[in-house]
Each structure stands twice: as C-alpha cells, then as structure tokens.
Amino acid sequence: MHKPESFLQALQGKSNLYYFANGEVNNRVVSFPGPAGAPLLVFVANWRAKLKHWKSFIKVLQQKHRVLYFETREKEATQYRTEAPDLSVTAMAEDLTRFLNLVERPYHLLGVSVGTSVILRSWAKLTNKPESLILLCPVLKVKMPAYFRVFPFIDIKTFTRYAPLLYRLLCVSPRLKSVQKTLHRAMTEKDFTEIAVMKASVQQLLTMPDPLACSNCRPTGRTLIVRSLQDPLHSTADADRVMQGIGATDAFSCPDFRSVHAAETAERLLPFLRRESFVG
C-alpha cells in the first residue's frame, strides 16, 4: 500500500501542495485532509479549471473524506520539463493511470467534464480501480464555442499582436469575461507560454476521439452520473450515453454547469459515497 505523500514531491512551506513527477510534466496535486481515518477521494477537474472555483465544493467533501485534487497537464500550475509537451487526452490519461496505480486502496474517483474523458480513457489500464466512480457532466465530444474553434489556427504572434483590438471589441459583451481575461494576460505578460499551451490544448480537444468508444470502461463498483440540463458544452445526450455505456447505477441532474460547482451539489454526493461499495 502506498500513501500519497510517499510519491509526491512536497512544495517547500506548503504542506498541502505536491507535484507528481511524471516524465515530461510534473502534475500538481493539492491535498485536502479530512477526518482521521476518512476514506480517500481523488478529484480530476475540468479543462483549465481553477482550484478556487471548486473550493466550496471540496469543503463539503472534506467533511467525510480526504481529497486529492489531481491537475491534468494543461493546467496553469503544471511544471513542463520539455518545450513541446503532449497535451492530448491520451497523454493526460497516461498521467492519471500512473498516479492512480500508486494511490492507496480503497479510494473513490470523481471526474468533471474533460476530466471524465481522461478517466474513461485511463480505465482499462488501471490496476488499482476505485471503489466507486462519480462523473459530473461527462464529455464524449468537445463542442467549443466559435471563438475557441478558430483559436488553434491563429499564429500565436498574430494572436498577441491583435489582442488589444480583440480585447476592446469583446468588452462590449459581458458574456465573454473569460476570453477578456485571457486576452488581458496576453497584453500584459511578456511570456506567452500559458496562451500557447491553451492554444495547443484546444486543438487537441477538438480532435479528441470518443473516450467511450476508445476504452473498455465497465466499472464493477457503483457509479454515479450527474447531468447538466442546460449547457451547450455538456449535453444530457452525452451523460445518457455514458450512463448506458458504463452501466451506471445512479444519476441526478443539475440546472446548468455553474450549479455543478455549488456546495449543494457536493452535499448530494455524500449519501452516494456513504453507501457500501465494492470492487469485483
């Protein structure tokens, strides 16, 4: 049995932050301690997720669990050990496979959005499978908005050159705040590494194969699917296909993806996690 701290490199002065040394990248892992003797829950978040957006959600889970928040390689905090990292979902799945095959058993596994795709791709190679599986808003085919669809095909120098003009144009629409923040960073930072990583990652996501068709994910333990009812990126059709494809035992719905982050949604997960689960 491995304890998480035995294969994670601690950051000096920050005992809850670690890096998982993993070849061409070091994945950041954030540890949230729970009650003494609490079961372990591994959390694989959505694409480019910010930890701050999941803090209230994790705080609820911490009431009953120790949480390891595993960040896939496109995240801001990833340490790149090569100038051209592979940002495909396949590479992310390999990272997760190595990580999960080292964590202690038993553990529960939770994925969100693209994080669910990574889990589905890694499943067949997991020798250390979870006791239960939770997939929030599973994604089988990435449907990026129009402004992200053209993003991968724009030369990075051209993009940053015209970023100020695009920023002024986008300011007229409050619905594009996330894009405005990205452009603002492009205008104010000398190092465009983050923009380049996001650009390469989007291109990989747009060509991502259906993870359900590419792997044999048939959990023998209990599974829960959470749908988003009104969201262009996370369709109920995808959630239903995943539920049927893996033989999920439980499901519930949220109004939209924003509500998935809410503490109330985490509260709804606790009864599922408390029930007796098994691995065949």
183-196 pLDDT, tens digit per residue, is 666 555 545 577 77
Cα separation of 111 and 225, whole Å?
Answer: 10
Q: Which amino acid is at 265?
A: T
Cα separation of 139 and 60, whole Å?
Answer: 25
- Please give the pLDDT value at position 216: 82
Residue 267 has pLDDT above 90, yes or no: yes
Nearest to 259 by CA among 228, 224, 223: 228
- Please give the pLDDT value at position 1: 41
Q: pTM here?
A: 0.85
Residue 103 corresponds to which tokens in the numbers above?
């964590």
Sign (positive/negative) of CA torsion 54, 57, 63, 68?
negative
Cα separation of 101 and 244, whole Å?
Answer: 26
What would the mean pLDDT of 22-36 be, rounded to a whole number? 93
Confirm if 40 and 106 have CB atoms less than 8 A apart: yes
What would the mean pLDDT of 234-261 be, rounded to a whole number? 94
Lowest mean pLDDT among 11-15, 47-51, 94-98, 218-222: 11-15
What would the mean pLDDT of 197-206 be, rounded to a whole number? 87
**What average pLDDT does the structure give for the chain?**
85
- Give per-residue pLDDT as tens, 113-172: 999 999 999 999 999 999 999 999 999 998 877 767 777 777 766 665 666 566 555 666
> Percentage of the chain with pLDDT > 70?
79
- Please give the pLDDT value at position 162: 61
Confidence class for position 15, pLDDT limits 50, 70, 90: low
